[in-house]
A and B are shown apart, each in its own frame.
Chain A
Amino acid sequence: KQEVTQIPAALSVPEGENLVLNCSFTDSAIYNLQWFRQDPGKGLTSLLLIQSSQREQTSGRLNASLDKSSGRSTLYIAASQPGDSATYLCAVRVVNSGGSNYKLTFGKGTLLTVNP
């Protein structure tokens, strides 16, 4: 059974700092890995998706990497801002022979606070 772990559970940094969030998964047979952002009282918003054949994806100040063989992914946030404060979740989609498996397994998230 796929398990996804995120470390740390919470992180507090001063504005402007670069930071890294970590995600690990137990089964390397994944289809893709996705990072989401969740604001308090809101749903999830997809930030970056990395296909299993890719090593990284970038969007603005965000960069996500994937090392499938070691079961790890990182989300790098450059020059953090107070508006980045949120919970960040990673999720993996497992491989399914029929290609129809849409199940995502989520980590519990990292609560990020960026202090002005």
Chain B
Amino acid sequence: DAGVIQSPRHEVTEMGQEVTLRCKPISGHDYLFWYRQTMMRGLELLIYFNNNVPIDDSGMPEDRFSAKMPNASFSTLKIQPSEPRDSAVYFCASTRLAEKLTDTQYFGPGTRLTVL
């Protein structure tokens, strides 16, 4: 398996622009997570899905952030409008129910977002 795939790997945009980050989880995984990592706050969970349904979005910082999972093999995280403080590395991770007891989450390589 190719692992969790994220695109783009790097994104540089200007303040006010819309940004869309994409994630393809590992085939067969039924949980998908979006995280954000910054020096100041570390790694934070933004939202997670189970069987394409958002379960907990309490980590989403504000209404400018939205996430969707239209099918089991694709998810997006959108920021509109983007602000410089959104600059961070955004990770997607996935896991499957059968691995619940071990809690192993498989992380993608991340998208480094820079908002100028």
Contacts and interface: CB of A to CB of B under 8 A. Distances in A.
Interface string B78-116: 000000000000010101000001111101111000000
Contact of B42 (A31, A46, A107): A107
B107 to A, nearest CB: 3
Contacts of A26: none
A107 B44 CA distance: 9
B34 interface: no
Nearest to B107: A43
A46 B105 contact: yes
B4 A43 contact: yes
Contacts of B48: 102-103
User: Which residue of A41, A89, A102, A104 has the most chain B CB atoms within 10 A of its CB atom?
Assistant: A102
Contact of A43 (B42, B95, B110): B110
Interface string A44-81: 11100101000000000000000000000000000000
Contacts of A113: none
Given A43-B91, A103-B56, A106-B44, 17 more contacts: A41-B109, A42-B109, A43-B4, A45-B107, A46-B105, A51-B101, A89-B42, A91-B43, A100-B55, A102-B31, A102-B33, A102-B56, A103-B45, A104-B45, A106-B42, A108-B42, A109-B42
9 contacts: A32-B103, A43-B108, A44-B93, A89-B42, A102-B55, A104-B105, A105-B45, A106-B44, A109-B42
In order of increasing CB-CB distance, the 9 nearest A-B pairs are A43-B107, A108-B42, A106-B43, A44-B107, A43-B109, A46-B104, A43-B108, A103-B45, A106-B42
Interface of A: 31-32, 34, 41-46, 49, 51, 89, 91, 93, 100-109
Interface of B: 4, 31, 33, 42-45, 48, 50, 55-56, 91, 93, 95, 101-105, 107-110
